[in-house]
């Protein structure tokens, strides 16, 4: 009985190729779309979070001037190297402190020039910013003390000035200062906002202050907290310290601001999280649309199926025998479509993720939900019209129009 039912269902599927293909297609598209959209959304979220981690999640930066809408503030006293020293001494949860100052300048090699950001900094800046050297070395003691000018290039600057050539020990001009190239950092690529993270020149802070800035000002002090959980504490201690050092009276607003990568990272994560939710909603809609497609195909064929059921009943089939056949047919089609859609969705999102360089992370619950929903729709709409027909008098099923 079971084998003949299976055979009959298979024959029915082959006999109604178009109907079978359309039903299957509806399920395939529904499942594949959901899996792809959600997996890609998840990949985007992972990528953003990863990018931020690369920028250094534990990093805090203090800059002069109150945080104000509409950009930089004017008139606030600059930071100094003494501020950096005080932070290092008085805030225990701070691991590394890196004062820096920057300016946009033209850098010139033997036959190329390039406009970039030049940052005066210490070697600690490299570790706070998570910069690693690809070739060469960082500043030695003599250079850090303001000896002969040396510089480390970002990969972008290196290729702009030297192309494929060897930059080490070459002499370049940074603004008006002749400078020896001692190292090149590893490439970081673009950040989440599309900014080139490799377009910079680093030189020792003292050299930068003396030869370029002409003052002892510090533009920013970056620091890394010893742990991620210490960040809030560091933040409050830092604010108190800065207020004291800058002699701000009680009640006066801060004339400096502290930026916290973790905050930015959390904001961004919530944005991409919302994006994933949106994609999920789009996916859900596509699932419903796919479901309606399946439903339509099934309902269109109800008349024909009802008559077929009438014939089978008239010939002596019992209702459950007919139903079993239709159920098996619907289950086989839905299962086939679901598995196909799952494979297509996974392969598709893997390929798209590769193209967009998103990490590939599958959410199993989404796969299960997409599959289960399409499966139920397919089986439901294949089965329930059949059940109605199978409960009729055969003559009514035969007369159905």
Partner 1 sequence: MTDTAAPLIALRDVFKIYGSGESEVRALDGVDLDIRTGEFVAVMGPSGSGKSTCMNVLGCLDRPTRGRYLFRGVDLAGASLDQLALVRRHYLGFVFQGFNLLARTTALENVELPLVYRGVPTVERRRLAAKALADVGLGGRELHTPAELSGGQQQRVAIARAMVSEPSLLLADEPTGNLDTARKHEIMRLLRALNDERKITIVVVTHESDVADFASRTILFRDGRIERDERRGAPS
Enumerate binding residues for partner 1 (CB under 8 A).
1, 4, 8, 11, 15-16, 304, 307-308, 310-321, 391, 393-396, 398
Which residues contact residue 20 at a Cβ distance below 8 angstroms, ignoring those fewer than 6 apart? Answer: 13, 14, 333
Least Å from the CB of residue 309 to partner 1: 11
Residue 247 three-state SS: coil
Contact 331/379 with Cβ under 8 angstroms? yes
Least Å from the CB of residue 27 to partner 1: 23
* Partners of 196 in beta bridges: 190
Q: Which is nearer to partner 1, 40 or 309 (CB)?
A: 309
Single out the residue of 229, 268, 225, 237 nearest to residue 56, CA to CA: 225
Q: Which is nearer to partner 1, 4 or 145 (CB)?
A: 4
Least Å from the CB of residue 15 to partner 1: 5
Q: Which is nearer to partner 1, 135 or 311 (CB)?
A: 311
Separation of alpha carbons 401 and 394, rounded Å: 14
Q: Which is nearer to partner 1, 83 or 329 (CB)?
A: 329
Compute φ and ψ for 369, nearest 5 degrees: -65, -45
Strand residues in 21-93 grouped as ranges (E): 59-64
Least Å from the CB of residue 395 to partner 1: 4
Least Å from the CB of residue 341 to partner 1: 27
Q: Which is nearer to partner 1, 12 or 198 (CB)?
A: 12
Burial code (b: 16+ CB inside 10 Å, e: under 16) for 105-119 equals bebebeeeebebebb
Q: Which is nearer to partner 1, 104 or 316 (CB)?
A: 316
Contact 278/62 with Cβ under 8 angstroms? no
Least Å from the CB of residue 280 to partner 1: 41
């Amino acid at each position: 009985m079971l084998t003949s039912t299976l055979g009959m269902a298979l024959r029915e599927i082959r006999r109604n190729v178009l109907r079978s293909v359309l039903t299957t297609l509806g399920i395939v598209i529904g499942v594949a779309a959901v899996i792809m959209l959600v997996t890609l959304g998840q990949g985007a979220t992972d990528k953003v979070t990863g990018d931020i981690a690369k920028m250094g999640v534990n990093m805090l930066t203090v800059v002069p001037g109150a945080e104000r809408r509409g950009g930089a503030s004017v008139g606030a006293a600059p930071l100094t190297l003494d501020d950096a020293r005080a932070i290092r001494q008085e805030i225990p949860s701070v691991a590394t402190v890196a004062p820096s100052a920057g300016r946009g300048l033209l850098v010139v090699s033997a036959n190329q020039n390039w406009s970039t950001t030049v940052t005066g900094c210490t070697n600690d800046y490299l570790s706070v910013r998570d910069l690693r050297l690809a070739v060469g070395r960082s500043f030695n003691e003599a250079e850090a003390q303001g000896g002969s000018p040396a510089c480390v290039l970002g990969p972008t600057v290196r290729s702009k000035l030297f192309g494929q050539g060897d930059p080490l020990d070459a002499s370049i001009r940074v603004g008006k200062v002749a400078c020896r190239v001692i190292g090149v950092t590893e490439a970081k690529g673009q950040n989440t906002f599309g900014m080139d993270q490799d377009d910079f020149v680093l030189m020792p802070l003292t050299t930068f202050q003396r030869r370029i800035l002409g003052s002892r000002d510090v533009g920013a002090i970056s620091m890394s907290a010893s742990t991620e959980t210490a960040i809030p504490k560091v933040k409050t201690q830092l604010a108190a310290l800065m207020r004291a050092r800058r002699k701000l009276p009680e009640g006066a607003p801060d004339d400096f601001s502290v930026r916290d990568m973790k905050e930015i990272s959390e904001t961004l994560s919530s944005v991409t999280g919302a994006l994933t939710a949106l994609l999920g909603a789009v996916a859900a809609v596509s699932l419903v649309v796919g479901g309606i497609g399946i439903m339509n195909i099934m309902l269109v064929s109800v008349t024909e199926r009802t008559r077929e059921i009438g014939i089978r009943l008239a010939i002596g089939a019992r209702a459950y025998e007919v139903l079993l056949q239709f159920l098996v047919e619907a289950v086989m089609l839905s299962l086939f479509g679901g598995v196909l859609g799952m494979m297509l969705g996974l392969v598709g999102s893997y390929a798209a993720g590769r193209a967009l360089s998103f990490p590939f992370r599958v959410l199993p619950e989404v796969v299960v939900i997409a599959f289960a929903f399409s499966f139920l729709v397919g089986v439901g709409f294949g089965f329930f019209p059949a059940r109605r027909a199978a409960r009729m008098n055969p003559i009514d099923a035969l007369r159905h129009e």
